[in-house]
Amino acid sequence: MGTDPGRPSRRTPGAPGALRALAFGAAGLLLVGCASMPDHGEVRPVEASQGVDSQVRVFGVPPADKASPQEIVDGFLEAMTSDDPQLQTARKYLTEDAAKNWKPGAAVTVLSAGLDRFSVPGEKEPAATPRFKIAGKMLATVDERSAYQPETGGQPYEQFLQLQQKDGQWRIATPPSSLVLSESDFQRIYRPVNKYYFAGSTLVADPVYVRQRSDPDSRMDPTTQTVTSLLDGPSKWLGPVVTSSFPTGTELREGTKSLSIDGQNTLRVPLNKNADDVAEPQCQRMATQLLYTVKDLTGFRVDRVDIVRSDGTTACQVSEVAAAVIANLPLSPGHQYYVDADNRLQRLNLDPNSEEQQDPPSPAPGPLAANPAFKVGSAAVSYDEKRAAVVSEDGHGLYVVNLTTAGPMPPALLTAKGTKPHGLTTPTWDAAGDLWVADSDVQNSTLWRLPGGAGPAERVEVSGLAGGRITGLKASPDGVRIALLVQRESRKYLFTGRIERPDGKGDASAVSVRELRPAAPQLADVTAMSWAPRGRLLVVGRESGGVVQARYMLADGSMVGAGLPGATGLVAVAASEDEKKPVVAESLEDGIVWLPPGAQWRTVVAGGRAPVYPG
- Edge-first strand listing for the sheet containing 266-270: 266-270, 304-308, 314-319
Q: Among 36-40, 256-260, 460-464, whose mean pLDDT is lowest?
A: 36-40
DSSP assignment, residue 94?
B
Q: Among 32-36, 79-83, 264-268, 579-583, whose mean pLDDT is lowest?
A: 32-36
Task: Quote the percentage of the chain above a pLDDT of 90.
Answer: 61
SS3 180: strand
295 or 339, which is more confident: 339
Compute the average pLDDT of residues 69-73: 95
Question: What domains, with CATH codes, occur in the chain?
Answer: 29-189 (3.10.450), 195-327 (no CATH), 336-612 (2.120.10.30)
- For residues 259-271, one letter each, b for 16 or more C-beta atoms within 10 angstroms of the residue's C-beta and e for the rest, the string is bebeeeeebbbbb
Q: Is residue 436's pLDDT more than 80?
A: yes
Q: Is residue 20's pLDDT more than 50?
A: no
For residue 396, give every residue at least 6 positions away whose Cβ sits within 8 Å of its Cβ, in sequence order, or none.
415, 416, 418, 419, 423, 424
Q: pLDDT grade, residue 68 (50/70/90)?
A: very high
The pLDDT tens digits for 80-99 are: 988 776 788 999 999 999 99
Q: How many residues does the chain have?
A: 615
For 56-82, the three-class secondary structure string (H helix, E strand, C coil) is CEEEECCCCCCCCHHHHHHHHHHHCCC
Write down the pLDDT at residue 174: 95
Q: Among 124-128, 174-178, 339-343, 520-524, whose mean pLDDT is lowest?
A: 124-128
Compute the average pLDDT of residues 67-89: 89
Write down the pLDDT at residue 15: 29
Compute the average pLDDT of residues 177-198: 91
Q: Is residue 248's pLDDT more than 50?
A: yes
Write down the pLDDT at residue 9: 31
Q: Is residue 437's pLDDT more than 90?
A: yes
Q: Is residue 1's pLDDT more than 60?
A: no
Q: How far apart are CA 209 and CA 228, in angstroms?
A: 12
CB 215 within 8 A of CB 225: yes
33 or 216, which is more confident: 216
Q: How far apart are CA 225 and CA 218, in angstroms?
A: 8
SS3 325: helix
Write down the pLDDT at residue 350: 60
Write down the pLDDT at residue 42: 40
Q: pLDDT grade, residue 19 (50/70/90)?
A: very low
Compute the average pLDDT of residues 501-509: 58
